[in-house]
RNA sequence: GGUGCCGUAGCCAAGCGGUUAGGCAAUGGUUUGCAAAACCAUCACACACCGGUUCGAAUCCGGUCGGCACCUCCA
């Protein structure tokens, strides 16, 4: 395992060595399910999906845990707004999330724990912290005492004094109960003015619900143990979420929670972070209306995972979203990839030379791809490797298509193997090539108000004209179709068409 | 105020001490009945600015300007 990863704890790129040889435990902070997932959430999924895939392809058995936070203030608030039971609302958006994620070819987590199924673990953890004097109960609430944990601030590299300065502006009933402004709720007691139907669970400190951070500690320790390999999530979770997770977990167990903390950068809109609170987000679903989900996945690869990824979009004159140019670029690259995949699948047997030598560069591509990911998941570098591969494979196909041209069996085999590694490590090109290309064409036809059957009919007319060597008529039909945005591709096998 | 990150050719984006990253766009070529696709070439001795270290800096150090994030819910 030659993987090197950036560790937020040390702020360095360091070698990843699993604590138990051959195995890796990975925990990723999943969504709070009060709304549809936006593109930023999808970046998390894709980034850690590549990490898990790469670890597995490198020979490790990975236990991949990604939680769903299904109880939280925002869920309760949203449920009240729409007049829905909070649990039902959470279930609805959990299902939507699962559906959206699957469309991106993300491997499902091995365990997808939910807060509502871990109340016992949460209460036990809070109890343990109170016993260890790292937490205190006040009026039905329980707070973590940051001053009782010497390492507080080690992840986000902050000093408690600085935090105090930043937090001093806040006022409120809750603040007065705390011993230190940075103390945070482990358990939130039901308030006197709480609305009926607000979910709560019994506890030694009175009825209430878990605070925001405690659930992840309880769930990751339950499923991966008190100490595990990698904990990941969005950059905005470094503070306070992950900092607090470390504090409460390590104060309870006395062990290091995760040895490596990995954080991905934001999707940006107009140079600002895409977020629910700013209201500048696009949901995955909106995006999927315009492009293939896999194109969104490809787009995520175009920038390093820790860097911000800026998203552009186009609007029609009514202000409705019509497209996402960069994701459409990704879709075109995928068309290129799938077309190449089809080309090597369709090389006729008589063009294959069973004897000749293997193309050395093509033979080495899988390894080069793996090395690019070993370098802190350098996905843009991986795309450059893919670009080189596609070029060389197309070149080999061009050569094989020439008069008396051949491709060697060995080169064909390593090419196919390289494609399968792209699929297994990057999760790209896993769809059926023909189905993908057809879907893209159909969606573009629909978006442009073009009837596919109409194009097909003109195509037949042109084929007839060409058969009778009436090239003037054939060209007239081509020009007519080109004017409508249709691109025709003649080949010995027939004529295909696409909408660029 | 505190703590970080970023500024690379028309656009996007790797690299982070010495050897053409890559993509998109544009232009020329190979191929083709004509095209498209594919491939080749050019654009590309680019690295915000000013100093310093070094045989050598986009890469290290100091400063300046510009942009962003976290410190409050956030992926």
List the one residue out of A498, A460, A494 whose CA is nearest residue A477: A460
Residue recorded with tokens 């989900």: A293
Determine whether the distance from the CB of A43 to the nearest atom of strand B is below 7 Å. Answer: yes
A416-467 confidence digits (pLDDT tens):
999 999 999 999 999 999 999 999 999 999 999 999 999 999 999 999 998 8
The reported pLDDT for the residue numbered A231 is 97
Residue A169 has pLDDT above 80, yes or no: no
Chain A span 181-210 residues with beta carbon within 7 Å of strand B: 181-182, 184
Strand B closer than 7 A to residue A160 Cβ:
no
* CA dist., res. A481 & res. A475, Å (int): 10
User: Is A356 (CB) below 7 Å from strand B?
Assistant: no
Q: What's the mean pLDDT in A143-148?
A: 95
CATH T-level topology, domain A327-426: 1.20.120
Q: What does the domain layout of chain A look like in residue ranges?
A: 4-273, 327-426, 450-498
A114, A138, A214, A217 from A142: Cα distances, Å:
21, 6, 11, 16
- Does residue A193 carry a pLDDT above 80? no
CB under 8 Å to A178, separation ≥6 — which residues?
A: A143
Please give the Cα distance from A27 to A229 (Å, whole number): 8
Counting other chains too, the contacts that A464-472 makes at CB distance below 8 Å and 24 or more residues apart are A466/A490
pTM of the predicted protein model: 0.96
Q: Which long-range contacts (CB under 8 A, 24 or more apart) does A187-191 make?
A: A187/A126, A187/A137, A187/A141, A187/A142, A187/A211, A187/A214, A188/A141, A189/A139, A189/A140, A189/A141, A190/A140
The reply to whether A13 Cβ lies less than 7 angstroms from strand B is no
How confident is the model at residue A274, as a pLDDT? Answer: 92
Instruction: Give pLDDT tens digits for A337-372.
Output: 999 999 999 999 999 999 999 999 999 999 999 999
Look at A14-23, A101-110, A314-323 and tell me which has the smallest mean pLDDT.
A314-323
Element (H, E) at A50: helix A39-57
The CATH H-level superfamily of A4-273 is HUPs (3.40.50.620)
Residues 407-466 of A with CB under 7 A from strand B: 466
In window 47-106 of A, residues with CB < 7 A from nucleic chain B are 72, 74
Residue A473: CB less than 7 A from any atom in strand B: no
Q: How far is the CA of A263 from the C1' of B59 (A)?
A: 24
Per-position b or e across A76-107, b if 16+ CB within 10 A of its CB: bebbeeeeeebeebbbebbebbeebbebbbbb
Residue A26 half-sphere exposure, CB side, CA atoms within 13 Å?
Answer: 30
A329 touches strand B (CB under 7 A): yes
């Amino acid at each position: 395992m030659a993987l090197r990863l950036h560790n937020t704890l040390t702020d360095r790129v360091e070698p990843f060595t699993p604590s138990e040889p051959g195995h890796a435990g990975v925990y990723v902070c999943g969504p709070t399910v009060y709304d549809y997932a936006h593109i930023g959430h999808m970046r998390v999924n894709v980034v850690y999906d590549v990490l898990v895939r790469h670890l597995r392809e490198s020979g490790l058995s990975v236990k991949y845990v990604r939680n769903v936070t299904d109880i939280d203030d925002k869920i309760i608030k949203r449920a009240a707004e729409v007049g829905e039971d909070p649990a039902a609302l959470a279930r609805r958006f959990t299902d939507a999330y699962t559906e959206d994620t699957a469309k991106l070819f993300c491997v499902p987590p091995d365990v997808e724990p939910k807060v509502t199924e871990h109340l016992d673990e949460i209460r036990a953890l809070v109890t343990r912290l109170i016993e260890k004097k790292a937490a205190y109960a006040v009026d039905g609430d329980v707070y973590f005492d940051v001053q009782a944990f010497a390492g507080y601030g080690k992840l986000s590299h902050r000093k408690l004094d600085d935090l105090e300065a930043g937090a001093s502006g806040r006022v409120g009933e809750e603040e007065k109960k705390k011993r230190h402004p940075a103390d945070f709720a482990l358990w939130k007691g039901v308030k006197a003015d709480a609305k009926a139907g607000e979910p709560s669970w019994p506890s030694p400190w009175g009825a209430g619900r878990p605070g925001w951070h405690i659930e992840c500690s309880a769930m990751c320790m339950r499923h991966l143990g008190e100490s595990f390999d990698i904990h990941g999530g969005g950059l905005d979770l470094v503070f306070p979420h992950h900092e607090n997770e470390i504090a409460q977990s390590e104060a309870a167990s006395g062990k290091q929670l995760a040895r490596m903390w990995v954080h991905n950068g934001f999707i940006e809109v107009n140079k600002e972070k895409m977020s629910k609170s700013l209201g500048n987000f696009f949901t995955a679903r909106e995006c999927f209306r315009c492009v293939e989900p896999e194109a969104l996945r490809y787009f995520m690869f175009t920038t390093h995972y820790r860097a911000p990824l800026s998203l552009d979009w186009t609007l029609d004159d009514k202000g409705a979203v019509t497209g996402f140019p960069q994701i459409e670029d990704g879709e075109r690259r995928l068309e290129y990839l799938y077309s190449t995949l089809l080309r090597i699948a369709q090389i006729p047997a008589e063009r294959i030379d069973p004897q000749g030598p293997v193309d050395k560069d093509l033979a080495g591509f899988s390894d080069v791809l793996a090395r690019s990911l070993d370098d802190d998941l350098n996905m843009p570098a991986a795309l450059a490797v893919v670009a080189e591969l596609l070029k060389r494979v197309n070149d080999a196909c061009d050569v094989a298509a020439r008069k008396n041209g051949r491709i060697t069996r060995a080169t064909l085999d390593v090419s196919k193997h390289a494609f399968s590694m792209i699929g297994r490590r990057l999760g790209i090109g896993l769809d059926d090539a023909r189905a993908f290309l057809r879907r893209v064409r159909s969606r573009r036809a629909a978006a442009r108000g073009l009837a596919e059957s109409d194009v097909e009919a003109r195509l037949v007319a042109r084929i007839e004209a060409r058969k009778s060597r009436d090239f003037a008529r054939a060209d007239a039909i081509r020009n007519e179709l080109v004017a409508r945005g249709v691109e025709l591709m003649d080949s010995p096998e027939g004529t295909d068409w696409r909408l660029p």
